[in-house]
Amino acid sequence: MGRKAWQFASTLPAEKLSQVHNSGVNTSLLVDHAYNPIHRRYQYDPAGELVRTLDKLRGEIKYEYEANGQLRSRDTSSLIGSEVFRYDAAANRLDFNARQFDSLGRRGAVWGRF
């Protein structure tokens, strides 16, 4: 079993135009065809977490994780597509607009923490 390394956008089945990372398989040489507008690449860290995608349509997207494996952020290098994720004590992802409370029970902004 492996992780997807790249995939072309096409009407053909995905397995015909994609490559999977597997131990002993070198995926550094990727074929880019000028007639195909989307060629998406995937990059993973040693823990198997997706850390980067790159394609001609969306550009580069970077992903960061907490030490426990929870997704911390999705960075598109623009304010519009970038996201920061928060979690409660039970590891449930919080709503972006949900209020957080400080140690005194006061509601407040949390932007400075990120």
Tokens of 79: 């304010």
Range of the domain at 104: 3-113
Residue 112 — very low, low, confident or very high, per pLDDT cuts 50/70/90?
very low
Spatial separation of the C-alpha atoms in residues 59 and 94, rounded to whole Å: 27
Determine if the pTM surpasses 0.85. no
Structure tokens at 37: 């507008």
CA distance linking residue 74 with residue 107, whole number of Å: 25
Q: How far apart are CA 14 and CA 38, in angstroms?
A: 13
Into how many domains does the chain fold?
Answer: 1
**How do residues 4-36 score in pLDDT, each as one tens digit?**
665 555 555 444 445 555 555 444 444 455 555
44-83 pLDDT, tens digit per residue, is: 888 888 899 888 778 899 999 998 889 999 999 887 788 8
